[in-house]
C-alpha cells in the first residue's frame, strides 16, 4: 500500500475489544502486546505472532478510528480465513517494544535515549 495511506482494521475485527499493553500508547514510545479479537468468535484458538517492532497500529486517527498497518492487516486476514484451526484472536508480541514503522525510527529513539542518559 502507498506510504502514508491510512490502513484500518477489517470489518471482522472486534475493534471495541482490542487491548494493548501498556494500555495508553499515546503517552509513550513502547507497546509490548496487542490483542486483536475477531468478531463473533467466542471460542477457538489464540494465535501468537512475534514481530520486529510495533507500528502505529492500535492508535486512533483524527476521526477516532483505530488504525492498523499493512502487516497486521495481512496477518489478521490470513488467520481469520483459516478454518482449521479456527482462531478467535491474535496476540501480536514484539521483539523490541519501541514504536517505529521502520528500523531508522528505532535507531533514532536509541540515539535520543543515549544522549538523554549521558
Weakest mean pLDDT among 17-31, 35-49, 60-74: 17-31
Residue 6 within any structural domain of the chain? no
Question: Quick one: which H or E segment has residue 37?
Answer: strand 33-37
Q: Which residue has the higher pLDDT, 71 or 46?
A: 46
pLDDT of residue 117: 42
What span, in angstroms and rounded, lies between the C-alpha atoms of 61 and 107? Answer: 25
Residue 19 within any structural domain of the chain? yes
pLDDT of residue 1: 44
Is pTM beyond 0.75 here?
no
pLDDT of residue 108: 57
Weakest mean pLDDT among 10-14, 36-40, 72-76, 96-100: 96-100
Residue 96 within any structural domain of the chain? yes
Residue 10 within any structural domain of the chain? no
Residue listed under C-alpha cell 476521526:
63
Residue 9 within any structural domain of the chain? no
Number of structural domains in the chain: 1
Residue 90 within any structural domain of the chain? yes
Residue 66 within any structural domain of the chain? yes
Q: Are 70 and 3 in contact (CB under 8 A)?
A: no
Residue 7 within any structural domain of the chain? no
* Boundaries of domain holding 23: 15-117
- The pLDDT of 55-69, averaged and rounded, is 69
Amino acid at each position: 500500500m502507498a506510504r502514508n495511506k491510512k490502513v484500518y482494521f477489517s470489518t471482522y475485527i472486534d475493534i471495541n475489544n482490542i487491548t494493548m499493553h501498556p494500555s495508553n500508547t499515546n503517552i509513550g514510545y513502547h507497546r509490548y502486546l496487542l490483542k486483536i479479537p475477531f468478531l463473533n468468535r467466542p471460542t477457538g484458538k489464540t494465535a501468537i505472532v512475534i514481530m520486529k517492532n510495533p507500528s502505529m497500529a492500535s492508535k486512533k486517527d483524527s476521526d477516532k478510528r483505530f488504525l492498523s498497518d499493512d502487516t497486521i492487516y495481512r496477518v489478521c486476514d490470513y488467520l481469520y480465513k483459516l478454518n482449521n484451526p479456527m482462531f478467535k484472536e491474535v496476540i501480536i508480541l514484539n521483539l523490541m517494544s519501541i514504536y517505529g514503522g521502520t528500523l531508522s525510527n528505532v535507531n533514532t529513539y536509541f540515539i535520543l535515549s543515549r544522549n538523554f542518559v549521558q
